Amino acid sequence: MTAETTVPTVPASDKSMEELVGLCKRRGFVFPASEIYGGLNGFWDYGPLGTELKNNLRDAWWRDMVKCPPNGPDGEPLTIVGLDSAIIQNPKVWEASGHVGGFSDPMQTCRICKKLFRADHVWEMLKESKWVSDFAESISLTDWGDSVSVNSDDAMKWASKKGRKLAPGLALSTDAVATMAALSQALENDPQMQLDFPTLLQYVATGPKAEGGLVTPCPNCGGDLTEPRDFNLMFRTFIGAAATEDDVAYLRPETAQGIFLNYKNVNDTMRVKVPYGIAQIGKSFRNEVTPRNFIFRSREFEQMEMEWFCPPDDAKEWYEFWVDQRHRWWKSVGLTDENLVRRDHDDDELAHYSTACADVEYRYPFTAPGFGELEGISHRGCYDLTKHQEFSKTKLEYFDQERNTRYMPHVIEPAAGLSRGVLAILCEAFTPDPGRPSKVFMKFHPRVAPIKAAIFPLVNKDGMPEIARKLYNDLRTRYDVQLDIKQNIGKRYARMDEAGTPYCFTIDSDTLTDQTVTVRERDTLAQERIGIDQVVAYLSKQIDESNRD
């Protein structure tokens, strides 16, 4: 056996999203949708490896939530059944749920370039804006929170050269002299004013009009933004070949409502008793104005949601149970404690239907050192069932025979983004390692790895390819394995490192005499010889046992 190497631990802040996105394209995890036509903002296609990764994560969730759900607080197995509801429902569904009237984001439009922005994302986008970064560099800014002292000549020099190209809508770019004069006058009028960088950006965007109040610049061109206005996020469609405005329908913005619509059907057809859950995995659509951060925020995405129906008096206990369970589950598929955190929502953050809500957040590279939402666990009360009972005129109360009482169940909803889960696992797995030929490897948990093992003949002759093919045929009915015969062994190892394959089995000249193969472990690079007849048992121990962790 060869000596093991130390597996590098790389903080999220040191991981490059640009490099990760490049690897995802190069190795077939994620492609831009409609790429040969220039793409379509907010939409992504999953390549061969990405599809396997997504399906593995989906199947792990389904197994652990539906086929073999956890034991409850009393130690007894829970009952959760599955559902697959239609993407398009009767439009009245979304009136009852509040989506038609209230599912909107405050939006701002740039008066110069006409681009739309979510009002609560503008400053975050300004931090990532190319023109802002270039302007900050021109005045030697090192940190956004620092007070700044601006040299007028430097600012006007930037405006005359790069500003006109990068930020043509910025007041500084269109009239640098008047803009800097207005800033100087403001500082003279208020000598105690602390000029930080965000305030400076507002001044160079407002220019001589500063007396009327400062404006926030456009992240794209530096222009003036309109006041926020509501923008509905649902995709509209039409039903019927000769449809009119009277035939408007919507692509679902969430999978949850399909579960609530079928709650009575499940009660009537399955042997279930409250408390129990209904789970669903499926696509949802939101007309996001600013899709961003790769597949983190897109317009077409997949959700893994479960609605847990329980007696009102027990809802608080079940809420805490599911928050804890969902945090634990993400660790079981490879996310680490240091990159996961529970964040309870403040009262002013709660949705109108929610009694309590906690997010399982992940430290993505683009949020580091902070965290971003991965899954939300919400105490929805009886809001949804009550609304659908009111709008549909269908009785949805539950008669509890054991308690001899009738009530509207309360609902606890663990709602995870499958797309965001894939992104979190990609970010966690992405491990730069300059010592490898590939310079990086994907440290996937074996449970979700797209390829579990690769089989290599050392050379394409001397009977080695034939032995490799036989081993491949023995393994492929049990595991996702790949046979790779061409190129030198180093390049094949590098390809499997970037694909995140945990184990590689190499057939060499010794195999011909002693029927042993070399096993290479992805993370530590350790190698050992085992009998070719032991490979199935070896993978069973490594892969199957990891699935039970």
C-alpha to C-alpha distance for 214 and 224, rounded to whole angstroms: 10
- The answer to whether 112 and 169 are in contact (CB under 8 A) is yes
- Cis before 208 (ω within 30): no
- Integer angstrom CA distances of residue 230 from 19, 27, 56, 60, 101: 36, 40, 38, 38, 10
CA nearest neighbour of 307 among 327, 282, 328, 280:
280
Average pLDDT for 92-104: 79
For residue 1, what pLDDT is reported? 52
Q: What is the pLDDT of residues 420-457, one digit of tens each?
A: 999 999 999 999 999 999 999 999 999 999 999 999 99
Residue recorded with tokens 């959760």: 80
pLDDT band at 348 (very low <50, low <70, confident <90, very high): confident
Q: Model-level pTM?
A: 0.81
Higher confidence at residue 528 or residue 149? 528
Average pLDDT along the chain: 92
CA nearest neighbour of 529 among 514, 546, 544, 545:
514
- Retrieve residue 325's tokens: 């369970």
For residue 6, what pLDDT is reported? 66
- β-pairing, 405-407 vs 398-400, is antiparallel
Beta-carbon contacts of 203 under 8 Å, excluding residues fewer than 6 positions away, are 179, 182, 183, 186, 195, 210, 214
Q: What is the distance between the terminal CA atoms of the chain, rounded to a whole angstrom?
A: 26
Element (H, E) at 59: helix 48-62
Beta-carbon contacts of 131 under 8 Å, excluding residues fewer than 6 positions away, are 162, 163, 166, 167, 170, 221, 222
Kindly report which listed range (147-151, 404-408, 507-511, 545-549) carries the lowest average pLDDT score: 545-549
pLDDT band at 51 (very low <50, low <70, confident <90, very high): very high
DSSP 487: S
DSSP 111: T
Average pLDDT for 398-417: 95
Q: Is the pLDDT of residue 343 over 80?
A: yes
Higher confidence at residue 112 or residue 53? 53
Kindly report the backbone phi and psi dihedral angles of residue 106, in degrees, each rounded to the nearest multiple of 5, phi listed first: -70, 125
Average pLDDT for 276-293: 92
For residue 243, what pLDDT is reported? 84
In the CATH scheme, what is the homologous superfamily, with its name and number, of domain 451-547? Anticodon-binding domain (3.40.50.800)
Higher confidence at residue 375 or residue 346? 375
Burial pattern 317-349, b for ≥16 Cβ within 10 A else e, equals ebbbbbbebbbebbeebbbeeebbeeeeeeeee
- The answer to whether 493 and 520 are in contact (CB under 8 A) is yes
Q: Is the pLDDT of residue 7 over 70?
A: no
> Is residue 214 packed enough to be buried (19+ CB in 10 Å), middle (13-18) or exposed (0-12)?
middle
Kindly report the backbone phi and psi dihedral angles of residue 409, in degrees, each rounded to the nearest multiple of 5, phi listed first: -60, 150
Helix (H, G, I), strand (E, B) or coil at 535: helix
Q: What percent of the chain has pLDDT over 90?
A: 74
For residue 5, what pLDDT is reported? 64
Q: Please, how many CA atoms are within 13 Å of residue 300, restricted to the half-sphere of its CB?
A: 10
- Of the candidate CATH numbers 3.30.930.10, 3.10.129.10, 3.40.50.1820, 3.30.70.870, the domain formed by 53-87+237-428 belongs to 3.30.930.10
pLDDT band at 2 (very low <50, low <70, confident <90, very high): low
C-alpha to C-alpha distance for 131 and 136, rounded to whole angstroms: 9
Kindly report which listed range (51-65, 75-89, 92-106) carries the lowest average pLDDT score: 92-106
Element (H, E) at 453: strand 453-457
Average pLDDT for 55-78: 97
Kindly report the backbone phi and psi dihedral angles of residue 304, in degrees, each rounded to the nearest multiple of 5, phi listed first: -125, 105
Q: What is the pLDDT of residues 456-482, one digit of tens each?
A: 999 999 999 999 999 999 999 999 999
DSSP 115: -
Q: Where are the domains of the chain?
A: 53-87+237-428, 105-229, 451-547
Helix (H, G, I), strand (E, B) or coil at 198: helix
Kindly report which listed range (80-84, 207-211, 246-250, 359-363) carries the lowest average pLDDT score: 207-211
